[in-house]
Amino acid sequence: MKEQDASQFNPENYELPLKGHVYCKILFDEVFLPILKERFPDVLPRLSAGVIGVGSDVLGADDELSRDHDWGPSKCQLLLSEQDIVKYGSSISQALEAAIPDEFLGVDTAKLGPKTIRINTIDAVYRGFHESAYPPVTIEEWAAADDNHLCYAASGFVLYDPSDALSGRISAFQKAYYPADIWKWKIASDLWGIWHNGDYNSSYRLAKRGDGIGLLIGQGAFVEGTLRLLCLLNRRFPVYWKWLHWQAQSLPKWVDIIEPSLKKLESANNHAARGEIIHTICESIREILHKMDLLPDTAWRNFMGSQEITLQIESTRVKELIREEEPHLYVW
C-alpha cells in the first residue's frame, strides 16, 4: 500500500514526537472510519474505539523509545458486543488491516510489527489485565486489586464512542478509589518500606558502612516507595515503577516538596550525602503526613509512623487482612 497522504494532519498542532493516542485518533478518523461508514454502517452506533489496556501510550507517557509494545495501529482497539463480533468482527479486522498504510504520519508501520486490529468486548479487555470488567466493590476486592492495573483501568483515550460505553467505563474507574481503611493500610505499608529501605537501613547503616552497592539497592526501593506514597496521598493509583516518577510529576500536591531532594539524591556523589538526603526526604514525608492530619506531629518515629496509621483503621475485616498479609503492621 502506498504512503498515506494524511492531509488533515498538521504537525504544528501536536506535541512531537507524536503520542500514540494522537496517532491512533488520526488513523481512525482518516483511514478506518471512512471504511467503516462505507462497508459496516449498521455497526457504527454500537462501536467504540480506544487506546486502552496497558502500556505507556495508554497513560500518554510514550515517546520515541516506547514504540516496541504494540505502539501504533495495533493499539487502536475496536470494541463491540459479542454478537457483533461474531457477525462482523473478522470482516472488519481484515478490511482495516488491509487499509493500514505502509507509512503514516512519518511512521514506518512495517517496523512496528504485524498490522493487527484487535476487536473485543469492553468487558473482555478489562478482564484481560484487571481481572474484572468493573472497579472493585468489596473490601476483599479492593485489598486484592493491583495498583498498577487500577491505574491503567482509570487511564486510556477514547477515539470513537457514540454510545458512551467506553467513556463510561473509564469514568467508572476514575471515580472509584480505595475505601478509607484500605487507603490507610496502603499508606502504612509504604511507610514501613520507606523506613526499612531508607531511614533505617540506607541512612543509618549502609551509608555509614560505605556499602555503596547495598545503598543503591536500598535507595531504589526507598525512592519507589516514596513516589508510590505521593500517589496514594494524592488519591491516585500508583503505576508500574518505571513510570512512577513520570506520574508523580503531574500530582497536584506534595511533589514540589519531595522533588528537589530526589534531584539531589540523583546527583549525590558520596555515600554520606546520599544517606543525609534520604533522611531529609523522610523528614519531609513526616511533615506532609502531619499536614494531612495522619500524624499528630513531625517528630521522628520508628517505622515512619506506619503503625500509628494502622491504629486509625476501623474495619475489623481490614484488620484481619493486615494480620494475615502484613503482620509487621499488626498492632492491635
The reported pLDDT for the residue numbered 10 is 54
The reported pLDDT for the residue numbered 196 is 96
The reported pLDDT for the residue numbered 17 is 78
Mapped to the 3 state alphabet, what secondary structure does the chain carry? CCCCCCCCCCHHHCCCCCCHHHHHHHHHHHHHHHHHHHHCHHHHHHCEEEECCCCHHHHCCCCCCCCCCCCCHHHCEEECCHHHHHHHHHHHHHHHHHHCCCEECCEEHHHHCCCCCCEECHHHHHHHHHCCCCCCCCHHHHHHCCHHHHHHHCCCEEEECCCCHHHHHHHHHHHCCCCHHHHHHHHHHHHHHHHHHHHHHHHHHHHHHCCHHHHHHHHHHHHHHHHHHHHHHCCCCCCCHHHHHHHHCCCCCCHHHHHHHHHHHHHCCCHHHHHHHHHHHHHHHHHHHHHCCCCCCCCCCHHHHHHHHHCCCCCHHHHHHHHHHCHHHCCC
Are the C-beta atoms of 97 and 117 separated by less than 8 Å?
A: yes
pLDDT tens digits, the chain, 332 residues: what are they? 333 444 454 555 566 678 999 999 999 999 999 999 999 999 999 999 999 999 999 999 998 888 777 788 889 999 999 999 999 999 999 999 999 898 888 888 878 777 889 999 999 999 999 889 999 999 999 999 999 999 999 999 999 999 999 999 999 999 999 999 999 999 999 999 999 999 899 888 888 898 999 999 999 999 999 999 999 999 999 999 999 999 999 999 999 999 999 999 999 989 999 999 999 999 999 999 999 999 999 999 999 999 999 999 999 999 999 999 999 998 88
Are the C-beta atoms of 75 and 57 separated by less than 8 Å?
A: yes
Domain ranges of the chain: 11-175, 180-329
Are the C-beta atoms of 326 and 190 separated by less than 8 Å?
A: no
Cα–Cα separations (whole angstroms), residue 265 to 12, 223, 261, 272: 37, 10, 6, 11
